Amino acid sequence: MLAGENLKVRRGGRLALNAVSVQARPGAVTAVVGPNGAGKSTLIAGLTGLLPLEGGRATLDGTPLSQFKRQTVARRVAVLPQQYRATFPFKAFEIVAMGRSPYEGMESDAEAARHVEAALYAADVAHLADRPIDRLSGGERQRVFLARALAQILPLPTTAEARYLLLDEPTASLDLRHQTIALDFARKAARDGAGVLTVLHDLNLAARFADDAIVMSEGVVAARGAPADIFNGDVLRPIYGAGISIFSEPADGKPVVLPAGPNAL
Amino acid sequence: MTAFLDIATAPNAPTVSIQARMRQERRRAAATIAIAAALLVGGVLMGLGVGALPISPAEAASILLAKLGLPALTPFEARDDLVMTAIRAPRTILGVLAGGALAACGAALQGLFRNPLADPTLIGVSSGAALGAVTVIVLGGGVAAALPPVLAPSLLPLGAFCGGLIAIIAVYLIAQRDGGTDIATLLLAGVAITAISSAGIGLFIFISDDQQIRDINFWLLGSLSGANWRALLPAAALIIVGVCGILRQRRALDALSLGEADAHHLGFDPERVKRGLICCCALATGAAVALTGVIGFVGLITPHVVRLIAGPNHRMLLPTSILLGGALMLAADVGARVVVAPAELPIGIVTAAIGGPFFLWLLMRGRAFGGW
Amino acid sequence: MRLLSSAVLIALLAVSPPGARDVRAEEGARIVSVGGDVTEILYAIGAGDRLIAVDTSSRYPAETRALPDVGYMRALSAEPILALAPDHIIAIEDAGPVGAIDILRQAGVRFTMIPDTPTVEGAIAKIEQTAAAAGLPDAGAALATETRRRVDAAIAKTPKSGRKPRAIFFLSVGRGGLLAGGRGTSADAIINLAGGENVAAAFTGYKPIEPEAMTAGDPEIIIVTDRTVKALGGVDVILTSPQFAGTTAARTGRLVAFDGQMLLGFGPRLGEAIEALTAALHPPRPE
């Protein structure tokens, strides 16, 4: 289990995370939702050691992350950051291959190549393998980085130790079709044993693809549970404001949250 | 949609054959490094064989054989021996070292700053070293007179090295933020230190007399003529240490180019890598600049050219840049020595004259292709 | 006939004493001259035909233009100089770098450094030492004597009493920057020899002077070199420059230019320089 207990992170003088607890359960997709500035990305950063913790601790199977060697953590926890740069024109497969760098010296070239290939197919970018990254569209690029994150934690499933995939806004520049592909990807990784924690700004995607969710607001967790249980007006209106309409999807009863329209506030 | 994660293991699965691609990349990398090595060897032969004094290859080989205690191929004059041993050989070695150092630092800084236009001058090392040297030129007369004659010539390189070191430490301290170094601030601090150094140099030029001004200008334009065995050995040691430190971080540089967050998540320690690279660059560049003066463009152009031809993978890029940098430096030096013989053109003019327009061409080409 | 005289010459060479042979060997020597003064002296004593190369600062006499240029005197390059196969390098002090000079010496090239002191005695010594280096001591002594005669004559014409006119010398550097010749420079020395008072004597060396210090010093005459006038675009451009505003020299338009090598070289033309400068500093008063 990858867990953050009472995480406190200070940024620019204020507590961006104020005693936030979260868990990424192997086999499940957990969504982190909330308005802009709620602290969602900070949560990922604090959990993975990118930002220093003022309080609380992040643990992997009970042991604080700080006690693991960096490469060991990298073999078990892969992160897709919200922003990524592609300074130099690496080819798509080279970028995905970088995902295997935590395994340097531990596997043969053939094994590494197999994992890279699997990741490329899983993210539906195999046909772009030779393309330099600067010649790809925004969506294609995002999927290449998704493939890279996956390449880091292959092979799945694994009996010994669970692997974790942390996605920060994986659907940001994707069209509807590829949003579905990306989150299907997340679900399938979970089905194969990974623990997936994904930040999503779209509540409806969270409702459809996540098993659990936490709703954040101003650095604290406002609600925790299955989306069907917690995506309701009592939870969401205080956070998102009065201008939202909440329905129930006729087909499966999952919640649908939409802006109520003009003049709603 | 293709099945998830089963694809590579299915028996008749279509495959993009990543392994074949990786093998191909490796072969290309080896070939590129080999070509660069061949160019360097060519450069060395040029550096040793070309000069104002005509020395035939047979004579040159004989001189070398004689040094090794072997019989010579053809007789040669003592004067030729002196020119080869005391002038061309140390000069060629300095060219290889300085060219390699500047190119390695250029590649490292471009990866570190995630900016293809970064080079050693940008983080203030070169200008700090220049300021140190100019200080010695203008104020060092009294100190040099007090030193024993053996030490006096090393005052200038010492001043340059101290200047470079102080500059890089200042830049690094300024850029410290929340326990880490912010790249943007580092760049700006480098620009600021460069501006201060330029002002300082300008001030010295202002108060110095005619002779000193000419000395300063000559030093600022760079030259390999300061190569002598005594100064070369310590410089070589420092440069080799610095360049090896940079080479060790090849994989980290690949990861860093994706961003520091990504590098962190891939298991690297961006802060340590940054600190290490900056130290190594300061070491290598400072040692080089101390001996040669400020030589521009080699650090900027060499990695660029290699990337254009052979791609951005640092495992290939760094060794290739080091070898090619040495070759380019030696080629420029031959130009510097031959064009206005019996005088000598400062090598910085040659590298700027060739590097400048070439760089412009690169920029225009880049824009046309929509690339970085 | 020629064969006979050659045979006689060879026979003479075979039996002549060693010292004289050295002199004769020097007479055939290939010389590289570094420093404008040294070059000028070598031409003046008739050794000009032995020069195979000069440095950038050697511009007088005009014959120097035809010779290869070994570059800036403090940034000499050993190999190309060796390629010229010189026997002897005669250089004004301050030539360098040390490394190049060492290599040239190691290669068996004779290297003579001539001291440079901006005084009359210094100039005489320079002439004598240069001539000795070139193996022409007699010609050197003759030139030294002639030079001293002209210098004495020129100094005699210098007024010994009365007020010394205030003068200042400027050297132009690069993009129009002007450096004043302070104490210890050859400019200061020549101004004093010509019976003038150097306004810039408050500091040493060539330094830029503060406009206020200029106004306070109030030079009556500004001295520059011909090259400066050409570089800055004419006498008027210099005189109307703001840094001279308010000075007597600017007001009365008294700016004189001389050949730089003659004025500052402290070489064979020292007498000429003193005479010319004296005339400029002390113009004949209208009756």
We find that the CATH architecture of domain A2-259 is 3-Layer(aba) Sandwich (3.40)
- Is residue C2 scored above 70 in pLDDT? no
Q: Out of C74, C75, C82, name the one closest to residue B53 (CB).
A: C82
C82-92 mean pLDDT: 93
Share of chain C above pLDDT 90, in %: 53
Residues 224-283 of B with CB under 8 A from A: 251, 254-255, 257-259, 261-262, 264-269
Nearest CA in chain A to B266: A74
Nearest CA in chain B to A99: B266
Q: How far is B316 from chain A (nearest CA, A)?
A: 13
**Contact present, A and C (at least 3 Cβ pairs less than 8 Å):** no
Find how far residue C266's CA is from the centre of its chain: 5
**Three-state DSSP class for residue C224:** strand
Q: Do C82 and B79 touch (CB under 8 A)?
A: yes
At A209 the pLDDT is 93
Residues 113-142 of A with CB under 8 A from B: 113-118, 120-122, 124, 126-127, 129-130, 134
B316 contacts in A (CB within 8 Å)? Answer: none
* pLDDT tens sequence across B241-285: 999 999 999 999 999 988 888 999 999 999 899 889 988 888 888
The distance between the two most distant Cα atoms of chain B, rounded to a whole number of Å, is 82
Q: How far is C284 from chain B (nearest CA, A)?
A: 34
In the structure, what pLDDT confidence band is assigned to residue C235 with cuts at 50, 70 and 90?
confident
At A265 the pLDDT is 60
Nearest CA in chain C to B79: C107
C231-241 mean pLDDT: 84
B/C interface, count of CB pairs below 8 Å? 96
Chains adjacent to C (≥3 CB pairs closer than 8 angstroms): B
B100-112 mean pLDDT: 92
**Three-state DSSP class for residue B63:** helix
C-beta of residue B138 within 8 angstroms of C-beta of residue B204: yes
* pLDDT tens sequence across B176-189: 765 556 667 777 88
Q: What is the DSSP letter of B3?
A: P
At C17 the pLDDT is 42
Residues 149-188 of C with CB under 8 A from B: 171, 173-174, 177, 179
In the structure, what pLDDT confidence band is assigned to residue C16 with cuts at 50, 70 and 90?
very low
C-beta of residue B98 within 8 angstroms of C-beta of residue B291: yes
CB-facing half-sphere around the CA of C216: CA atoms within 13 A? 7
Q: Out of B83, B215, B337, name the one closest to residue C82 (CB).
A: B83
* pLDDT tens sequence across C120-155: 999 999 999 999 999 999 999 999 999 999 999 999
DSSP assignment of C77-113, as one string?
Answer: -HHHHHHT--SEEEEETT---HHHHHHHHHTT-EEEE
CATH numbers and ranges of domains, chain B: 98-364 (1.10.3470.10)
Higher pLDDT, C84 or C7: C84
Q: Do B209 and C179 touch (CB under 8 A)?
A: yes
Nearest CA in chain C to B229: C99
At B369 the pLDDT is 40
**Which one of B7, B17, B251, B258 would you mutate to disrupt binding with A, by most A Cβ within 10 Å of its Cβ?**
B258
- Is residue C12 scored above 60 in pLDDT? no
- How much of chain A is helix, strand and coil, in % rounded to 5? 35, 25, 35
Q: Which residues of chain A have pLDDT under 50?
A: none
* pLDDT tens sequence across B199-258: 998 888 777 766 777 777 777 788 888 788 887 888 888 899 999 999 999 999 999 988
- Is residue C75 scored above 70 in pLDDT? yes
At C18 the pLDDT is 40
Does this model's pTM top 0.95? My answer is no
At C3 the pLDDT is 52
**Contact present, B and A (at least 3 Cβ pairs less than 8 Å):** yes
Q: How far is C285 from chain B (nearest CA, A)?
A: 36
Q: Do A129 and B7 touch (CB under 8 A)?
A: no
Residues facing C167 on adjacent strands? C198, C221
At C219 the pLDDT is 92
- Is residue B3 scored above 60 in pLDDT? no
Q: What ipTM does the predicted assembly reach?
A: 0.91
Secondary structure E strands in B182-322: none
C-beta of residue C45 within 8 angstroms of C-beta of residue C139: yes
At B120 the pLDDT is 80
Q: Do C72 and B343 touch (CB under 8 A)?
A: yes
Q: Do C83 and B51 touch (CB under 8 A)?
A: yes
C43-66 mean pLDDT: 92
Nearest CA in chain B to C52: B342
**Which one of A87, A131, A144 would you mutate to disrupt binding with B, by most B Cβ within 10 Å of its Cβ?**
A87
* Alpha carbon distance C160, C3 (integer Å): 63
Q: Which fold has domain C161-281?
A: Rossmann fold (3.40.50)
> Would you list the domain boundaries of chain A?
2-259
Q: How far is A45 from chain B (nearest CA, A)?
A: 9
* Alpha carbon distance C70, B303 (integer Å): 35
**Three-state DSSP class for residue B38:** helix
- Is residue C6 scored above 50 in pLDDT? no
**Three-state DSSP class for residue B26:** helix
**Which one of A72, A116, A121, A191 would you mutate to disrupt binding with B, by most B Cβ within 10 Å of its Cβ?**
A121
Name the token pair of B169.
């430490």
CA angle A16, A17, A21 (to 5 degrees): 165
C145 in contact with B at a CB cutoff of 8 Å? no
- How much of chain C is helix, strand and coil, in % rounded to 5? 50, 15, 35
C234-259 mean pLDDT: 86
Q: How far is C17 from chain B (nearest CA, A)?
A: 29
Nearest CA in chain C to B223: C75
Task: Report CA-CA distances (Å) from B343 to C77, C95, C97.
Answer: 7, 14, 13
Q: How far is B40 from chain A (nearest CA, A)?
A: 26
B23 in contact with A at a CB cutoff of 8 Å? yes
A106 in contact with B at a CB cutoff of 8 Å? no
* pLDDT tens sequence across B117-173: 777 876 788 888 888 888 887 887 777 677 776 666 667 777 777 888 888 788 777
C78 contacts in B (CB within 8 Å)? Answer: 83, 86-87
In the structure, what pLDDT confidence band is assigned to residue B8 with cuts at 50, 70 and 90?
very low
At A38 the pLDDT is 86
C-beta of residue C126 within 8 angstroms of C-beta of residue C115: yes
At C176 the pLDDT is 62
Within chain C, which residue ranges are assigned CATH 3.40.50.1980?
A: 25-154, 161-281
Secondary structure of B285-304 in HEC code, one letter for each residue? HHHHHHHHCCCCCHHHHHHH
At A260 the pLDDT is 80
- Is residue B323 scored above 50 in pLDDT? yes
Nearest CA in chain A to B1: A124
B224 contacts in C (CB within 8 Å)? Answer: none
DSSP assignment of B111-128, as one string?
Answer: HHTT-TT--TTTTTHHHH
Q: Out of A93, A101, A189, name the one closest to residue B255 (CB).
A: A101
Higher pLDDT, B274 or B321: B321
Name the token pair of B330.
């030696």
Determine if the peptide bond prior to B357 is cis (ω within 30°): no
Q: Do B259 and A102 touch (CB under 8 A)?
A: no
We find that the CATH architecture of domain C25-154 is 3-Layer(aba) Sandwich (3.40)
Give the least confident one: A126-140, B208-222, C29-43, C60-74: B208-222
